[in-house]
């Protein structure tokens, strides 16, 4: 003869099983949402809706950069003083496609200064209009094992019809203090008569 406690447990188990079966049957009877084929218009729209629900986490591509780097007047002006660059110099970007290697580009009126840090072996102008071009090397650092300037700068005016190319040689340190010079940066500047402004490219 079954006890009252055992009968109650059996009834509860049967009730739970029936509820589970009913839930399973309901899930089977419910219509299944069909996923849109991968790459279809509907799939792309669904993906866009998901991104909107996530609070706009989707990455947005960068805006297209302008063709020219600087908007410069064709009027001539005196060369800025060295102290003017820290006060009046405006930070600019190199032309699209450049890889500046950490160098800075500034301008004051039609004058441009390009500064680079790091051990420098030589800065040379390979060709172009050399008038009013200034090339300076920073002092040699205090490290006796690195007897090279710690950077340098190029200053030049940018005017219609200009064409210039510079080569910046850096220093590579090898085994047991051996060093060699290698091209750190090639800088080209040009302003064709049909362009609205100059192109200053670094690579």
DSSP, collapsed to helix, strand or coil, labels residue 6 as helix
Distance CA 158, CA 192 (A): 11
- Say if residues 119 and 170 touch (Cβ distance below 8 Å): yes
Distance CA 178, CA 40 (A): 60
What are the structural domain ranges in the chain? 4-53, 84-202
pLDDT for res 59: 54
pLDDT for res 18: 45
- Say if residues 147 and 164 touch (Cβ distance below 8 Å): no
CA proximity to 160, closest of 180, 190, 137, 186 = 190
- Say if residues 188 and 165 touch (Cβ distance below 8 Å): yes
pLDDT for res 104: 94
pLDDT for res 57: 52
pLDDT for res 22: 41
pLDDT for res 118: 84
Give the pLDDT of the chain (203 residues) as one tens digit per residue. 444 444 444 434 344 444 433 444 444 444 444 443 333 334 334 444 444 444 445 555 555 444 455 667 667 899 999 999 999 999 999 999 898 888 999 999 999 999 998 888 889 999 998 999 999 999 887 776 667 888 899 999 999 888 999 999 888 777 666 577 778 899 999 998 888 888 999 98
If residue 167 lies in a helix (H) or strand (E), which one and from where to where?
Answer: strand 163-173
Give residues with Cβ within 8 angstroms of 169, minimum separation 6.
120, 121, 122, 123, 124, 181, 182, 183, 184
pLDDT for res 7: 43
């Amino acid at each position: 003869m079954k006890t009252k406690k055992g009968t109650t447990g059996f009834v509860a188990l049967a009730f739970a099983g029936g509820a589970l079966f009913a839930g399973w049957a309901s899930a089977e009877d419910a219509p299944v949402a069909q996923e849109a084929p991968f790459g279809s218009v509907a799939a792309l729209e669904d993906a866009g809706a998901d991104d909107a629900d996530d609070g706009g986490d989707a990455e947005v591509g960068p805006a297209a950069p302008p063709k020219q780097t600087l908007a410069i007047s064709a009027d001539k002006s005196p060369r800025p003083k060295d102290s003017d660059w820290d006060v009046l110099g405006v930070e600019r970007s190199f032309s699209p496609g450049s890889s500046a290697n950490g160098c800075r580009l500034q301008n004051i009126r039609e004058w441009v200064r390009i500064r680079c840090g790091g051990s420098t072996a030589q800065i040379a102008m390979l060709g172009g209009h050399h008038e009013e071009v200034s090339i300076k090397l920073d002092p040699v650092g205090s490290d006796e094992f690195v007897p090279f300037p710690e950077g340098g700068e190029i200053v030049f005016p940018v005017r219609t019809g200009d064409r210039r190319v510079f080569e910046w040689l850096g220093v590579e340190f090898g085994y047991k203090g051996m060093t060699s010079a290698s091209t750190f940066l090639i800088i080209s500047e040009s302003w064709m008569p049909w362009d609205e402004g100059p192109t200053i490219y670094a690579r």
